[in-house]
Amino acid sequence: MNRLILDTIERTLGTYAVTFLGLLLADGFDLTDVGALKAAAIASVPAALSVVKAAVGSLIGDQSTVGWVPRARS
């Protein structure tokens, strides 16, 4: 699989996990509550934005990654 796709998947899953866990912790961490389902749905928004950010990064940053920072020249 393409390295850029794997990089995008890793960043997206990381963003989703951090956002979801942050929302659960802020809400009291009750997985049986409807709030957990809302947190899961809300966490998908930053994850989707992470995909958009990766797409832009593949165009403007270092060509071997989806990051926005260009590779330092030595």
pLDDT at 31 over 80: no
More confident residue, 7 or 33: 7
Distance CA 59, CA 68 (A): 9
More confident residue, 32 or 57: 57
Handedness of CA 28, 33, 38, 43 (dihedral sign): positive
pLDDT score recorded for residue 1: 64
pLDDT at 13 over 90: yes
pLDDT score recorded for residue 9: 93
pLDDT at 49 over 90: yes
User: What's this model's pTM, rounded to 2 decimal places?
Assistant: 0.77
**Can you give the length of the chain in residues?**
74
pLDDT score recorded for residue 10: 93
